[in-house]
Chains A and B, each alone.
Chain A
């Protein structure tokens, strides 16, 4: 029961009671998407994109020319521009917002599922997206759709500016489109870029199990031609995403056996079709089980989620409810190796560690400043743990498989940062009573754990051992 609370959330903090009905406790949290708990200022993706544009333009079109003979001065000026546009600050602010949902909000279960979806529709490390856009994208396109149908989330994630830029759809030009023909007349490249189309099928919706062929991807890329940011001379690629028919490949297209009309509306129709495709439903049901329960979900785990999906027409709160119920039913038998971020948040919550900088502290930041080390602490920590949620290396996001998190260096980092975290605890909590209470509240077999820890008297030793026990690494 208590393991279940760590499985679907982050455990209980010292001032939280063990819920009498954990399943109900969990499912109540996913019905709505409440306001974010972060009390400080929150910026929109569009506001942050403006800074992204200032940085990219300022570097590419101004600084590179101005300091062409002086690499030292160039570096100095580029750093100034970074700070002028908040480059080292935004992602830290976003991590504060993100982690506050896990630690302080009334809906940590929703937070854990939010992280899942942010990683499902991942924006991986490219250009400066993580620095300016990814956090805001995960709030606006992902979290705010967690009480909608899957289809709506897929629609919005697909044409979100960060996603279009991330997967190069701005370079996806219909060879026979108006612009394509002109470009070719000038002997410039005018061809499709399949990247976004492929990932939409492979990673975001139907998965390779649907049996799509290369030609389906090409056809899907044709459907997606024209979806691009409004271009500007100084703002470059940072305008809002719109459908520009001048780049659209004319004619009908056929994907997975279905014909789609020429024009703007086809992308939405295709996403609707994919969202209802059996392979999509099964793929995502499997991924939810893999995230919450085990590396290798069984059919019995996946089926109830598929059923809930079909019954509710893909309504995410119902899908989440089914996934949580399955997690509950398998809670005793299966433990899931927690990725570094989720592991960290469990430790922070259970041991009441002062990790997230306060809204007031973050509010001291002004553009042009280099953020204080204390304002950048979350980002540094996640990088050191090897799991910065905005810096996945590939569009398939961070892995959900334990083998990908099992390397000596990655486990060393957990030892090292468990130790660091201990020294950020409240002094009044650094004693045996506190640990015993915390363990009793958060683990199904507390005696066993207390016995192991009893061999060490030093609370700091206890802390590092506890948070690296198999019971803690897996939940």
Chain B
């Protein structure tokens, strides 16, 4: 039997926090798969998060920023010691890294870079939708997006009716007020407003106690709980800021670590919220650029090029650092200063969408990324 939306809402009103817009239209025997994107704003330093082991060029250029007690991942790479939760995932084959990768953007402006990481384009501001929104459009996932942010990020633009959740600092008015508006919207045939108010009404039924926090850990836990529902959202987007560490980037407890820990907590709480649906989920990170190999005089790093991507969830093939490592000798660096990017990170995102949304890679490549020359990495990174 196909459950109607109304019945569903009635039946689950006490547990429903963030209702999706859609009817549960999944075919009976098909698993619901989720994609989560964590945007790391400010330029995540892939070399701080996933340092290379035993490279003299690296140690020399960053002598004051070298981390102690890193977690060895394989013969070549280690993990920042504060990324404990990610390491747990790694141990369970639920965590992987792509290194020396980034969007094909080399001009080092946050402003332009963040626009391109979200639009997936080549020219800043020329594309007004996001690659994820366009991918969802191809997969016909209207009403399946959830942004844990306000306003709606560009990344999700391109498909209608996305939901967002980012609790207000003050509480909602009483639910009977909301109920009046809900019926007024219906009576006046304000369909869009009515649809929104239905969701808001359900939210208002939940006691908003200390749990309505804006911090990413608690947002991640809630998002995880929603994603695991059969008719909940299938795509979620997070934002973490503060990666732009021009000074006092520091070692284990430096400012870059603070932002990495925030990201690490999202992984942990998504897993907690998702429960066993973590197995049907893929989490990927996204940043505008990496940072210079060399430390600056303020013991920070400048804007660079190549960075790394963290991935989590059971859709991953295995724990691995997937890379075509370019090396850190001066001649190997981009413009003699930055870690190079040998993999267009959009290849990873296109492959991720292809695997999670069950759409041919070529279709994504063509419709989302204008047929750009991207590699299909699905079989290398994900369970196909």
Q: Which residues of A come within 8 Å of B, CB atoms?
A: 60, 63-65, 67-71, 74, 126-127, 168, 194-195, 198-199, 384, 386-387, 393-396, 402-404, 406-413, 415-420, 452, 455-456, 461, 464-465, 468-470, 473
Contacts and interface: CB of A to CB of B under 8 A. Distances in A.
Nearest to A71: B248
A469 B123 CA distance: 41
Given A74-B248, A406-B196, A464-B173, A412 B168 contact: yes
A71 B171 CA distance: 35
Given A393-B154, A417-B170, A411 B196 contact: yes
Given A69-B248, A465-B177, A465-B181, A470 B190 contact: yes
Nearest to B151: A386
B69 to A, nearest CB: 19
Nearest to A448: B188
6 contacts: A63-B247, A71-B255, A403-B160, A410-B164, A418-B173, A465-B184
Contacts of B151: 386-387, 393, 407, 410
Given A74-B255, A126-B111, A395-B125, 19 more contacts: A60-B246, A64-B246, A64-B247, A65-B298, A67-B247, A67-B248, A68-B247, A198-B123, A394-B115, A394-B125, A406-B192, A409-B164, A411-B200, A415-B200, A419-B173, A465-B180, A470-B184, A470-B193, A473-B193
A70 B112 CA distance: 30
A198 B163 contact: no
Given A68-B298, A408-B200, A396 B128 contact: yes
A60 B302 CA distance: 11
A194 B125 CA distance: 11
Contacts of A384: 168-169
Contact of B173 (A194, A396, A407, A415): A415
Contact of B125 (A198, A403, A452, A470): A198
Contacts of B382: none
A395 B154 CA distance: 13
B203 A408 contact: yes
Given A394-B125, A396-B125, A452 B168 contact: no
B9 interface: no
Contacts of B173: 415-416, 418-419, 461, 464
B221 to A, nearest CB: 18
A168 B162 CA distance: 33
A332 to B, nearest CB: 16
B327 interface: no
Interface string B174-198: 1011101100110010101100110
B172 interface: yes
A410 B149 CA distance: 10
A416 B246 contact: no
B71 interface: no
Contact of B247 (A74, A168, A403): A74
A420 B246 CA distance: 40
B95 interface: no
Contacts of A126: 111
B192 A394 contact: no
A461 B175 CA distance: 11
A394 B177 CA distance: 35
B197 A407 contact: no
A199 B125 CA distance: 9
A407 B164 contact: yes
Contacts of A415: 172-173, 177-178, 181, 200
Nearest to B163: A408
Contacts of A419: 170, 173
Contact of A70 (B111, B181, B248): B248
A156 B14 CA distance: 57
A420 B169 CA distance: 11
Nearest to B154: A393
B82 to A, nearest CB: 14
Contacts of B241: none
B150 A68 contact: no
A35 B299 CA distance: 49
Interface string B146-162: 00001110100000101
Contact of A408 (B165, B177, B180): B165
A328 B177 CA distance: 33
A126 B112 CA distance: 10
B280 interface: no
B124 interface: yes
Contacts of A386: 150-151
A71 B300 CA distance: 10
Interface centre among B112, B151, B164, B203 (most CB of A within 10 A): B151
B126 interface: yes
Contacts of A396: 125, 128
